[in-house]
Amino acid sequence: MDKSYIKFLNKYSGMEFNEDHHSEETLRFINSLNTHSDKKKILIFASYDLPVDPFRQYMPFLCDSFDFFIIFSNSVQNSPELQSAKDFTTIRNNYAQLKQILEHGSYDLILLANINLYWQWRFSFVKTFAKTPVICYERDFMTKMHVRNTDEMALLLHGKREYAEFIMETGDNLLKNADGIVCHFSDTAVKMLNRHNSNIYSYIPVWSSNHAETAVTTSENKLVYGGSLTPEGDRTPHGTFGNLLPIFSSFTKHAEVDIFVRTEDRETDWQNYRNCPQIKVFNNIGYDEYIKTISGNYLAGLCVMNFSRINETSNIAYKYIFVTKIFAYLAAGLPVIISSEYDSAASFLTENGLGVAYSNQDIFADDFFPDIDAIRKAGKNVSEFDFNALLMKQKEQFLEIFSKTML
C-alpha cells in the first residue's frame, strides 16, 4: 500500500499501521478463519459499536447458512451477537493486523458494518487487500446523498480541505466499486443511487420487539429523545443539542423531555445546557440497556430535527432515510413523534399507525400541542404490530443479497 496513503490515514483517522507489531491473537484468529467449514464464511469488519447496530438482530437467523467472524476495530463489548458469531477479535486500530487477516484468512464475503460518511475510507483499505466481494452496510449517509461537493464537505470538517478531498474520493470509490451496498434509505433513494452502482439495496433497520408487547405507558406527559447527539461545534451542526433545543423547548411547553445521549463527550461539554428546564442529559449507555430503560416509562419517543439549518442536499438524505432511533423506540413499545420532513420514515410510521408526524412549521407554532389521543392510539398499535414478520422479511433480504454476491 502507498506509504503516503498510510500517512494520511494516520493523520486524520486515528488508525495505526504498524507492520512490526506481531499479534498472537491475530494469528489465532487467522487459524480459526482457515478451519474447514461446510458453510460459507462471512467476515464482518465493524467499529466497536456494532452492539448498537440492528444488523446484529439477523445474525442468529442466518447462522444456519453462514459462519460469522467479526473483526472489531477497537474494544469489544460483551453483546448478544457475539454468541452467534463463530469467532471474533479486535485489531485495536492497528490496520496492519487487518491487512494480515485479509491476506491470509479464508472467507467468502466481507461485510463492512457502520460505514458512515466519515468512515468511507475503510472500504478503500479493505478492498485493496480483500480476496472476495465486499458489501458495505451503510448505517448512516453516503456522500452522494449528504454533500454536493468538496467545499461543502470541508465546511463539515471545519475547513480541512485535504481531508475533505480524501473523504469525497473514498466515497466515490465506495459508491462505484462496492460489490453491494445495504443502506437505511427508501426504495426511492436507492433508485437515485443506482445510477452509480446497480447493487444498492434498501433496508429497514427494525429491531425485535422484546418489550413492545408488554410495555405499559406509565406517564401521560413524558417524552424521550435518544441517539447520537453532541454539544455545539460538532462536524454536523444540525446534529447538535444547541440546534435541537428550540424544538425540545416547543415540546416542553406541555411535557417533560428526557434526553439519552449516545456520545463520548465529556460531562463538562454539556455544562451550558445543564440548567435547561425539564431536560435531562443521561450518561452513555448501550442500546439494549437503553431500550429496556425507556420501555413503559414514556408516552412517546421523539425523532425531530431543525430542518431550517440543513442544506438542500442533506435535506434529501434525511427525506429518504429510515432513522435508526425510531426502531429503538418501537422495540421499547413506544409510538413515535416524528418531523414530517423525514418523509420516508414518517410515511412508514403513519401508514402503519405507529406514530404521528408534525412539520417544523407546526412544531414552532405558538399554539403547538401534540395530539395526545393520536399518540395513545399509535401506542396501542405498536403493542399489536407484528415486528417479527418485518424482521423475518429483512432477514430473507440479507440472505438473498449475501448469496447473490457470493456467486
pLDDT in tens, 164-205: 887 788 788 888 888 998 888 888 878 877 777 788 888 888
CATH code of 3-205+391-406, in short, is 3.40.50.2000
Q: What residues does CATH 3.40.50.2000 cover in the chain?
A: 3-205+391-406, 222-384
pLDDT surpasses 70 at 6: no
pLDDT surpasses 60 at 23: yes
Of 53, 60, 14, the residue nearest 137 (C-alpha) = 53
pLDDT surpasses 50 at 234: no
What is the per-residue pLDDT for 81? Answer: 64
Average pLDDT of the chain is 79
Of 229, 228, 248, 249, the residue nearest 240 (C-alpha) = 229
The backbone region for 109, taken as left when phi is positive above 0, alpha when psi lies in -120 to 50, beta otherwise, is: beta
The predicted model scores a pTM of 0.83
pLDDT surpasses 50 at 236: no
* Locus of grid cell 507489531: 21
Contacts of 47 (CB under 8 A, 6+ apart): 72, 73, 74, 113, 114, 119
Torsions phi, psi for 111 (to 5 deg): -115, 115
Q: At 318, is the pLDDT very low, low, confident or very high (cuts 50, 70, 90)?
A: confident
Q: Which three cell numbers stand for residue 209?
A: 420487539
Please give the CATH architecture assigned to the domain spanning 222-384.
3-Layer(aba) Sandwich (3.40)
Q: At 52, is the pLDDT very low, low, confident or very high (cuts 50, 70, 90)?
A: very low
Of 355, 363, 362, the residue nearest 251 (C-alpha) = 363
